[in-house]
Amino acid sequence: MGLSHAGTVRLVDRLVADGLIERRGHRTDGRTRSLFLTSNGKSVSKEVLRERDQIISDGLSVLTSEEIDTLARISERVLQSRLKDREHSFHVCRLCSYADCKQCPVDAELARRALDTAPPSGFPGRA
């Protein structure tokens, strides 16, 4: 996200205060705190993603199905060519709809490069 440590702490504090996330201690490492969406945070997240999907759908509605297929192929090539490594894939895919991305071009590119595609523990992962 490009935030400093202090900026990240302030952002997390705000999200906690707004009831969108909660901090939880690690079961074996007392120095570690994990962040989890609250039920309200999950609801807000779903609404934001629904609105995003509607905006995208409205924008693409002017295209024919053939043009959408062409755009998809071009987008896949751009994503694959810009991909640096597995860690970078989390940034590239941060706004993806994981449920709808059944044949993720980013995962395909990681596999083609023979890079580890297993998400780290606790990461929601891609399809």
58: nearest Cα among 50, 70, 47: 50
Whether the predicted pLDDT of 41 surpasses 90: yes
Asked whether residue 85 is domain-assigned, the answer is yes
Q: What is the mean pLDDT of residues 69-84?
A: 92
Q: What is the mean pLDDT of residues 23-42?
A: 92
Asked whether residue 105 is domain-assigned, the answer is yes
Asked whether residue 82 is domain-assigned, the answer is yes
| Domain count of the fold of the chain | 1
Q: What are the φ/ψ torsions at residue 50 (nearest 5 degrees)?
A: -60, -45
Domain ranges, residue 79 = 63-119
Asked whether residue 54 is domain-assigned, the answer is no
Asked whether residue 20 is domain-assigned, the answer is no
Question: What's the whole-model pTM score?
Answer: 0.66
Asked whether residue 101 is domain-assigned, the answer is yes
